[in-house]
Amino acid sequence: MQMDKDKQSALLGLTLQELTDLAEGASQPAYRGKQLFHALYSERITALEQISTLPLEFRSTLDQQDFEVGLPTVEKKFVSTDGTVRYLLSFADGQSVEAVWMPEGDDGESGDGSEAGEHLDAPRKDASRKYARATICLSSQVGCAVDCQFCLTALLGIKRNLSSGEIVGQVCAILNDQKVSPPHDRVNLVFMGMGEPFLNYPNFIKAVGLFVDGVGIPESRMTVSTAGIVPRIYDLSAEPVRPKLAISLNASNDALRTQLMPINKKWNLEKLLLAAREFQLRPREKLTFEYVLLDEVNDSPVNAREVLELLRGLRAKINLIALNPGPGIAFHTPAQQRVLEFQRILVEGGIPAFIRRPRGRDIFAACGQLKRTAELANVS
């Protein structure tokens, strides 16, 4: 394996096969790779010396080859009154992303895994529960190139892609901080933080495999959200192991969508919805569409009826998100009455529509609020 002597190489992000190759390359038996894999993803060790099962000789070889675990550093934590925690996580090169921990259950959040990433108004109590339930919203890029007009992350522009190890590392760092361990604890993952996962597809899909095989989070507990990178929707459909798909719709016609999401110029609604229709759903699986409601922009009854027409015949549900306000965003949050009316039209038209309750608005952790907040708002 090629080493860059100027900087440390992360073990996080390597597959079982890659770790086995690494062990064999150091004249170790193949099972040492398995021990490393277990220590990195299941035990989520923070330093090589914690792997007591590995012989000292192999650990010092790894050390000499400048390998490190590669977990991100928790730079800051913002804790919301609703239990949500926004993490600022930094990597070896000084770049940082945000990820959000959303505990579920006793405060009325959905937590049965079938609705990963959704925060629905359906109180649920389970006093006998002996495990934690939570959703982690994670990032796939530093910044984002997609430029959705209602999103704070877009104001950053794109800095770089995250490696698969950096994607997995966000989850490992948060699980360690929260002292939670899948599969015993039920953790959902949503790729809905900073960045467009489908513009970092190879690293995203490699991370998905590591979550399933290593961390112990099944694919059914993961959801990836795309702004509509159509070729990658087809790619995801063909993956043997994949998260559920959510499409960020946000408009009911091309003119409006192009105004709100310039990516629509490249892949318009016709192309996007064709890809959605051709997506190979598993039994009982549904596509999710997300729709950020912007006051007097895309939230009228006419818009709702147009959405109904767009989604007609699809096995789908729609999540409605009243805009989470942020500095530098020109749009406003619609009144609750408009949101309810929009939902009513969709439901009566036959599309399951859920209003997502914002999590952690007081700490700028809600949808579309990540990263830029530390610079723009007075929350640190």
Binding ligand SF4 (rule: CB under 6 A), the pick from 71, 194, 308, 339 is 194
Please tell me which residue in 24, 57, 98, 270 is annotated as part of the active site.
Answer: 98
Span interacting with ligand SF4, options 24-32, 34-42, 139-147, 239-247, rule CB under 6 A:
139-147
DSSP string, 144-201: -SS--TT-SGGGG-EEEEPPHHHHHHHHHHHHHHHT--TTTSEEEEEE-SSS-GGGGH
Span interacting with ligand SF4, options 21-29, 47-55, 188-196, 302-310, rule CB under 6 A:
188-196
| Count of all residues that appear for the chain in the document | 380
Dig out the tokens for 260 from the structure.
């709100």
Closest separation in Å from C-beta 209 to ligand SF4: 23
* Contact set for ligand SF4, span 196-215 (CB under 6 A): 196
For residue 96, give the nearest of 155, 142, 49 by alpha carbon: 142
d(CA 135, CA 105): 11
Closer by beta carbon to ligand SF4, 104 or else 196: 196
State yes or no: is 367 an active-site residue.
yes
Decide: is 298 part of the binding site for ligand SF4 (CB under 6 A).
Answer: no
Dig out the tokens for 378 from the structure.
């007075």
User: Residues 34-55, buried b or exposed e (16+ Cβ, 10 A)?
Assistant: ebbbbbbbeebbeebeebeebe
Decide: is 153 part of the binding site for ligand SF4 (CB under 6 A).
Answer: yes
Span interacting with ligand SF4, options 54-62, 83-91, 114-122, 150-158, rule CB under 6 A:
150-158
- Collapsing DSSP to helix, strand or coil, 5 comes out as coil
Span interacting with ligand SF4, options 5-13, 50-58, 146-154, 336-344, rule CB under 6 A:
146-154
Closest separation in Å from C-beta 370 to ligand SF4: 8
Cβ atoms of 254 and 264 within 8 Å: the answer is: yes
Closest separation in Å from C-beta 194 to ligand SF4: 6
Binding ligand SF4 (rule: CB under 6 A), the pick from 14, 144, 172, 217 is 144
Decide: is 148 part of the binding site for ligand SF4 (CB under 6 A).
Answer: yes
Total number of residues that touch ligand SF4 (CB under 6 A): 12
Stretch 84-103: interaction string toward ligand SF4, x if CB under 6 A = --------------------
Closer by beta carbon to ligand SF4, 72 or else 228: 228
* Contact set for ligand SF4, span 219-278 (CB under 6 A): 227
Decide: is 316 part of the binding site for ligand SF4 (CB under 6 A).
Answer: no
Is beta strand 96-103 parallel, antiparallel or unpaired with respect to 353-355? unpaired
Q: Other CB atoms closer than 10 Å to residue 74's CB: what's the count? A: 15
Closer by beta carbon to ligand SF4, 72 or else 143: 143
Instruction: Give CA torsion, residues 37, 211, 179, 126, to 10 deg.
Output: -140
Span interacting with ligand SF4, options 38-46, 175-183, 192-200, 352-360, rule CB under 6 A:
192-200
Closer by beta carbon to ligand SF4, 85 or else 199: 199
For residue 361, give the nearest of 336, 335, 379, 342 by alpha carbon: 379
For residue 304, give the nearest of 318, 325, 315, 316 by alpha carbon: 318
Please tell me which residue in 137, 148, 172, 367 is annotated as part of the active site.
Answer: 367
Closer by beta carbon to ligand SF4, 45 or else 321: 321
State yes or no: is 196 an active-site residue.
no
d(CA 260, CA 34): 47
CA dihedral (301, 302, 305, 310) positive or negative: negative
Closer by beta carbon to ligand SF4, 148 or else 351: 148
Decide: is 118 part of the binding site for ligand SF4 (CB under 6 A).
Answer: no
d(CA 318, CA 249): 9
d(CA 217, CA 19): 20
Q: Write out the catalytic residue numbers.
A: 98, 367
List residues near ligand SF4 by CB under 6 A: 144, 146-148, 151, 153-154, 194-196, 227, 368
